[in-house]
Structure 1
Amino acid sequence: MKFLDEHAVRRLLQMDALIPAMEDALRALSSGGAVQPLRNVLSVPGQGGFFFTMPASVSGQLGAKLVTFYPDNKGVHTHHALILLFRQETGEPMAVMDGRLITEMRTAAVSAVATRLLARKDARSLAILGAGVQAKSHLEALRLIRPFEEVSVWSPNHGEAFAREHGVRAASSAEDAVLGADVIVVATTSRTPVLKGRWLKPGVHINTVGAPRPDWRELDDEALGRCRLYVEAREAASRESGDVIAAGHIFAELGEVIEGSRPGRQHPDDITLFKSVGVAVEDIASAGLVYRALMNAAQPQ
């Protein structure tokens, strides 16, 4: 059985390969080619943290992610995880690998899939609300999908430092960041709305990956009312996302758009919203990609 720490995962996992792997996993999820139950959630007594168990079988890969989410962590990541892979034919354990980086990268890769499917082809400006690991990972992934000429970032604490590090514009406010943007990423730790509907221009596409609890929100009611809503999995999003619960409807799963059973963008002025809650098939497909890269690297040249 192999054990891979975060350094090993980082060496083996590449964003340009991860994006099509996430597309395949989402197609399988919506077409019946994958099996995953709703994640089980344990509230950690007295700590304000959460412990999730996320098993899945997808494309011949079997495994589970064990992940903690401590939203109030300071100076240490809010998410930590392990992913376990098993041989589907026999149930034998094959690998245990660090899942923190996989969670970070697959979230952005799925947003990249959504952006390819839903954003206007002529999208050239990107706004990011948040300046943590998801902001960095989304900047990398979305630049592989659209040739952004302008990138703005806003965060109440670290926006200017992020902008200096990545050579983008530091916005003075969330409104300043998103006004006129073609694509918006909302990746915050906020439990109340940070994106207002009155700021959105016709034709914008939004990826939102924060607010992972039923009573948390990243978008206000006006924003939700103006958007056509896409998710990874209807049941998971309807139970876990405060934004989806408030919206009251889901237009389609991304996998349905990939397989062609539901439409993506239908008009240049459509406002499209992809709300990600993160699902187990993404983690297991990502871990399978890492494992195959490890085995290929071990083959004699």
Structure 2
Amino acid sequence: MVEGAPSTAAAISALRTSLLDGLDPEAGPPRSVVPVEQGQLLLMPAQWGSYAGVKLVTVAPGNAARGLPRIQGAYLLLDGGTLTPLALLDGIALTSVRTAAVSAVAADALAAPDASRVVVFGAGPQARSHIEALRSVRPVEDVVVVGRDVERTRAFADGVGARVGEAADVARADIVACCTTARTPLFDGSLLPATATVVAVGSHEPDAREVDGSTVGRSTVVVEAASAALQEAGDVVLAVQEGALDPGALVGLADLVRGRVQLPPGRPRLFKSVGMAWEDLVVAAAHYEAARA
């Protein structure tokens, strides 16, 4: 068992480097989703460079009422040449760090260099990880947290050096991070400034969304892989069904990082993440190598 969690900075660096080195997010096998009585079992295998690996994730929506994490799991890292098991990592810690790190890689390429005002929806582990990750790539000075439970949101905001706000605060945001389990839009997309960048990470189901058709329709939309987004990202799938988005207009994260994309001015920018197996592998391998060193 490899103890601890990868650092945010190391995860961001490893993910960016893998994309610059030619990793193709479209090439990996799709995530297997198996419905069970209390939720879902997710199986996420990947291979890249000298490593392979697989993450087993459990998603149990009812766990919140039990005081347990909604998402749990474990990651098995393998030698790429022999498929010999090398390490077992905490799936919760890995997922928390890598999700925010992917968002930070995208935000670093999308957000204005002086972006300092951040609105975060959610008050859980992903909200916390995203605040840390965004602070590492932009000069964040003002963080507003929006949550459903007033007391929990206030306690969370106090703990991360933020203040409690409301959905309408997106009208003054440079970056908006959606880190919730919501199945319907969190805010009115018409309020977004044309200079805003939105990252949405909360759902991987085609009938759930955190952002509305207005947000998607107004924005340049970046995804990890178009094939995964059109299958799993409700924010994308529903906008396509509504006629708010042309699937051919989706921008891949790899092309964005490699500088192959010209971002049109005067439009918000949206990064929609569903979480992919290559991300776990890259971050797990970097953490394994750091632990060995």
Shorter-chain TM-score above 0.5? yes
- Unaligned 5+ runs, structure 2: 241-246
Task: Map 1:135-284; keep pairs closer than 5 Å.
Answer: 135-157=127-149, 158-171=152-165, 173-175=166-168, 177-248=169-240, 249=247, 250-263=249-262, 265-267=263-265, 269-284=266-281
Shift of 1:258: 1.4
**After superposition, what is the alpha-carbon deviation per residue over 1:198-224, rounded to whole angstroms, capped at 9, x for unaligned?**
221111000000122111111111111
Contact 2:77–2:88, Cα closer than 8 Å, also in 1: yes
Rounded to whole Å, the distance in 2 between the matches of 1:198 and 1:32 is 34
Decide whether aligned partners of structure 1 residues 42 and 126 sit closer, same or farther in structure 2, where only a CA change above 3 A counts: same
Amino acid aligned to 1:22? L
Distance 1:91 1:17 in 2: 25
The C-alpha deviation readout for 1:15-58, integer Å capped at 9, x for no partner, is 111101111334456x54884201010001x31x1111111111
Cα distance in 1 between the residues matched to 2:131 and 2:114 = 17
Give 1:25's aligned residue.
18
Distance 1:50 1:62, change over 3 A: same
Name the SS of the counterpart of 1:53 in structure 2.
Answer: strand
Preserved contact between residue 27 and residue 256 of structure 1 (Cα < 8 Å): no
SS at match of 1:147: coil
Q: 1:193 to 1:101 in 2, by over 3 A?
A: same
Deviations along 1:247-279, one digit per CA (max 9) or x if unpaired, are 32242111111123223x332x22000000000
Distance 2:236 2:14 in 1: 25
Which residue identity does 2:14 align to in structure 1? A
1:174-205 C-alpha deviation (Å, 9 max, x unpaired): 22x32210100011111111122122111100
Q: Report what 2:244 is aligned to.
A: none
User: Which of 275, 282, 287 does residue 285 from structure 1 map onto?
Assistant: 282
Q: Judging changes above 3 Å, is the alpha-carbon distance between structure 1 residues 185 and 272 closer, same or farther for their aligned structure 2 residues?
A: same
Looking at structure 2, the residues matched to 237 and 60 of structure 1 have their Cα atoms a distance apart, in angstroms, of 27
The alpha-carbon distance between structure 1 residues 138 and 69, as it changes in their structure 2 partners (threshold 3 A), is same
Q: In structure 1, what residue type is equivalent to 2:134? A: L
Aligned partners of 1:240 and 1:285: how far apart in 2? 21
Q: Does 1:65 find its partner at 2:55? A: yes
How much is the aligned-residue C-alpha RMSD, in angstroms? 1.6
- Aligned residues of 1:182 and 1:204 also touching (Cα < 8 A): yes
TM-score (norm 1): 0.89
Q: Percent of pairs identical after alignment?
A: 38
Q: Shift of the alpha carbon at 1:14? A: 1.2
Unaligned runs of 5+ in 1: 297-301
> In the superposition, relative to structure 1, how do residues 70 and 26 fare at CA in structure 2: closer, same or farther (>3 Å)?
farther
| Selected match of 1:9 from 1, 4, 12 | 4
- Give the counterpart letter for 1:266 in structure 2: P
**Aligned equivalents of 1:34, 1:260: Cα separation in 2:** 18
The alpha-carbon distance between structure 1 residues 217 and 33, as it changes in their structure 2 partners (threshold 3 A), is closer
Q: Distance in 2 between matches of 1:120 and 1:59?
A: 33
Alignment of 1:19-98 (within 5 A): 19-27=12-20, 32=24, 35-44=27-36, 46-47=37-38, 49-74=39-64, 75-98=67-90
Q: CA separation in 1, counterparts of 2:108 and 2:184?
A: 28
Worse-superposed segment, 218-227 or 244-253: 244-253
Q: Which moved further from structure 2: 131-140 or 80-89?
A: 80-89
Instruction: Give the one of 84, 94, 106 matched to 1:102.
Output: 94
CA pair 143-136 structure 1, distance change in 2 beyond 3 A: same
User: TM-score, normalised to structure 2's length?
Assistant: 0.92
Counterpart of 1:144 in 2: which secondary structure? helix
SS in 2 for 1:274: strand
